[in-house]
Amino acid sequence: MSALEAWGEFWQGLSPDSVSRLRELCAPDIRFVDPFNDLTGVERLETLLVHMFQTVESPRFVVDDRAMGRDAGYLRWRFFATLRGRSIVLEGMSEVRFDADGKVTLHRDHWDASTQVYGRIPVLGAAIRLVRRRLSAPAS
C-alpha cells in the first residue's frame, strides 16, 4: 500500500481509538492546514482530532478518489457529521506531501467554507449569496 493510500485509509477509518495512529503515519512536525486551522506538530493534530470527536456527532470521512502527482498526493473526500442536531456534508480535496520515509509532512485541505459552512448561517449566508451574485458572470 502506498503512503497516500495509507493516509486515505487512516481518514476513512478515523475514530477516537485510531487517532494515535497519526504517529505512525506523520512526521513529528507535520503541518495541517484547513479553513479553520493552521497548526504544526503531530501532538497538535491529535488534539484537533480529539476535539472534533468531542464537538460533532458521528464524524466520518469518505475518500472518493486519489491521485499522486510529482510532488504531492491528492485526496478528494466527503465529510459527514451531525452538529447541534443538523446533518452536515462537506466536500473537499486534500493536498498531502511526504518525506523520504513516506511520512506525511503536510496535509492542506482545500474546500469552500463560505458556502459549505458560513453560507448556512442565516444572516451571514444571505450576505455571502448577495456577494456571490454580484461577482458572478452574467447569465447568457
**For the chain, which ranges sit under pLDDT 70?**
112-140
Looking at residue 118, what is its pLDDT?
A: 43
Would you state the cell numbers that stand for residue 134, as one nine-digit string? 454580484
Query: Which of 125, 120, 113 is CA-nearest to residue 35?
Result: 113
Domains in the chain, CATH or no CATH each: 3-111 (3.10.450.50)
Q: What CA–CA distance (Å, rounded) separates 25 from 96?
A: 12
Annotate 39-69 with b (16+ C-beta within 10 A) or e (fewer).
Answer: eeebeebbeebeeeeeeeeebebebeebeee
pTM of the model: 0.80
